[in-house]
Amino acid sequence: MIKELLWFPTNKCLIDGSWEAPTSKNEIALINPSDGTILIYIARGSKKDVENAVSSAQRALKTSWGKKNAHERGQFLLAMSKLVIKYQEKLAFLESLDVGKPLSQATKDVTTLARYLEFYGGAADKIHGITIPFQNDFTVIGLRERLGVTAHIIPWNYPMQIIGRSISASLAMGNACVLKPSEEACLTALAFGEIAREAGLPDGALNIVPGFGSEAGHALASNKEIAHISFTGSLQTATLIQMAAAQNIVGTTLELGGKSPQIVFDDANFEKAVPFLVNAGIQNAGQTCSASSRILVQQGSYRTVVKKMSAAYKQLQVGPAIENLDLGPVISRRQMEIILSYRNKASDLKISAEGRITKNATKQGFYITPQLFETDNYMHPLAQEEIFGPIQLIIPFRDETEAIKIANSTEYGLVASVWTENGSRQMRVAKAVHAGQVFINNYGAGGGVELPFGGVGKSGHGREKGFEALYGFSQLKTIANFCG
Ligand code: NAD
């Protein structure tokens, strides 16, 4: 089936607008999480391939791509957006097979990629500089300039969405990009390269080098010609990226993990809240940076929420991605073992409910039953560490002060939500919670391409999405003209 979905080579790197075999000729097997079989082989890019990609990006900045004006850059992104929709079905199947996510989620990811390209395509010529009132005999302006060659190192959980938010914002500002997709899910990144070619994006504006993190990833992060690193992934890798960036004094955007809370007060609308409470924990089998793994519920309604969430959990079905159930498999055997090791630490927690794995899920696939736990120990390892699997904890709190204390008790701060009908409490709690994004009576807003996104604390720094990303992928030059 996979061969029918491919209209681009998988075992090559995209360098200078052409598909090139990796210099080492080595390949990496991509595994289908739904049945553990080899899906296909991808290129194992090396340091040399990364160097070629970076040189190609530099050439593009000095020639064709670098000479395009903001409106022209936007037009390329808009053309790519239309092509994403043209290939919607193939892209969704590829993402579903590769990542193991239910087809409907993969289809949403395609639409979101198209929407990012459309948003940043439209925004490319709407980012203005500034004028600064200084001494009367000066005219001072601030120009928004591109950074140069930007590196994009991304994970396996939402390849299309992350490519959309980071590559399209960087291209909109006139940078040239080198993308290192994950060695565990790479197919839609390669398809995106072919879409850029079909849209006529000038050669070298986008280069793609698949490969292992310790090889191609490290080579890219430590390349001396890179002007900025946009990294999405784990805390452990972020530390290495940050050290590599420090050697070359380049900026980073770090989009890392989370332990995001939803805070439910006694006066919340439970009917409205419960689907969000559950979905935010189990979407993409819990392998979402902004997964809400902690549900904090006020004592008076604790049993009610446990009951309603448990009822929802009992309906959850896990099975092969292509069957489009509530959850697909997790990405790999290694990820499955990590999640199971957390389960082994949960013997002192009360399990409220769990979903079920369907009979079509083979033993060779990486399937995990979603589980809901009750605990009042908010410092428990399962309530503090990012598990990256379908496990949620319901934790009781007495009052607003305690809710904020529990919400802020982890080292992360990515997303949070507040469920209450009390208007002044909504804002008070939203302001007190440590997070880059806080929702009131909602969670996630369906992805929200327009909404700046990023973390505080160990969830990272910098913002992607929305207009804010365009500032991150550019720098301000101040020009003070003495005209006295
Ligand atoms: P990971 O850190 O293992 O890998 C991410 C990328 O980094 C991959 O492309 C990998 O090859 C590369 N890499 C690994 N070692 C490297 C090195 N030494 N130098 C350079 N690159 C290297 O993360 P993962 O397991 O792929 O993804 C899961 C993590 O990503 C979770 O922690 C999740 O929360 C986080 N995430 C965050 C966001 C966000 O927007 N905040 C979004 C998605 C995922």
Specify the pLDDT at position 484.
Answer: 87
Dist CA 481 CA 202 (whole Å): 35
> Does one domain contain both 288 and 218?
no
Residue 484 located in a structural domain:
no
Specify the pLDDT at position 445.
Answer: 76
Secondary structure (DSSP) of 137-183: TEEEEEEEEE-SEEEEE--SSSHHHHHHHHHHHHHHTT-EEEEE-BT
Residue 483 located in a structural domain:
no
Catalytic-residue membership of 289: yes
Strand 415-419 relative to strand 149-153: parallel, antiparallel, unpaired? unpaired
Domain with 339 in it = 261-449
- 255, 386, 400, 464: which one is catalytic? 255
Total domains in the chain come to 2
What lies within 8 Å, CB to CB, of 50 at 6+ separation is 178, 180, 209, 216, 219, 220, 223
> What token pair was written down for 333?
């055997």
> Does one domain contain both 208 and 234?
yes
> What token pair was written down for 389?
């699997």
> Does one domain contain both 215 and 313?
no
User: Could you tell me the CATH number of the domain that includes residue 426?
Assistant: 3.40.309.10
> Does one domain contain both 291 and 382?
yes
> Does one domain contain both 247 and 345?
no
Are 27 and 45 in contact by the 8 Å Cβ rule? The answer is no
> Does one domain contain both 245 and 285?
no
Q: Ligand 1 centre from 170 Cα, in Å?
A: 19
Give the ligand 1 atom nearest the CA of 460: 41
> Does one domain contain both 22 and 161?
yes
> Does one domain contain both 286 and 333?
yes
Over the stretch 101-119, which tens digit does the pLDDT of each residue have?
999 999 999 999 999 999 9
> Does one domain contain both 286 and 402?
yes
- 177, 289, 354, 386: which one is catalytic? 289
Over the stretch 328-378, which tens digit does the pLDDT of each residue have?
999 999 999 999 999 999 999 999 999 999 999 999 999 999 999 999 999
Q: Does position 99 have pLDDT exceeding 80, yes or no?
A: yes
Nearest one of 158, 72, 153 to 111, comparing CA atoms: 158
Residues in contact with ligand 1 (CB, 6 Å cut-off): 153-158, 180, 182-183, 213-214, 217-218, 221, 232-234, 237, 240-241, 255-257, 289, 386, 388, 414, 460
> Does one domain contain both 41 and 96?
yes
Residue 352 located in a structural domain:
yes
Residue 454 located in a structural domain:
no
Residue 455 located in a structural domain:
no
Catalytic-residue membership of 354: no
Residue 67 located in a structural domain:
yes
Residue 361 located in a structural domain:
yes
> Does one domain contain both 106 and 193?
yes
User: Is the full-model pTM beyond 0.95?
Assistant: yes
Over the stretch 235-265, which tens digit does the pLDDT of each residue have?
999 999 999 999 999 999 999 999 999 999 9
Give the ligand 1 atom nearest the CA of 331: 25
Over the stretch 158-191, which tens digit does the pLDDT of each residue have?
999 999 999 999 999 999 999 999 999 999 999 9
- Whole-Å CA distances, 385 to 127, 288, 349, 379, 389: 39, 14, 15, 9, 11
* Cβ atoms within 10 Å, residue 314: 13
Would you state the torsion angle of the CA atoms of residues 167, 291, 369, 95, taken in this order, to the nearest 10 degrees?
-10
Q: Where are the alpha helices (DSSP H) in 208-332?
A: 218-221, 235-248, 270-282, 302-314
User: Could you tell me the CATH number of the domain that includes residue 120?
Assistant: 3.40.605.10
Q: Ligand 1 centre from 335 Cα, in Å?
A: 13
Specify the pLDDT at position 72.
Answer: 98
Are 370 and 390 in contact by the 8 Å Cβ rule? The answer is yes
Give the residue-averaged pLDDT of 192-203: 98
> Does one domain contain both 226 and 368?
no
Q: Does position 447 have pLDDT exceeding 90, yes or no?
A: no
Residue 138 located in a structural domain:
yes
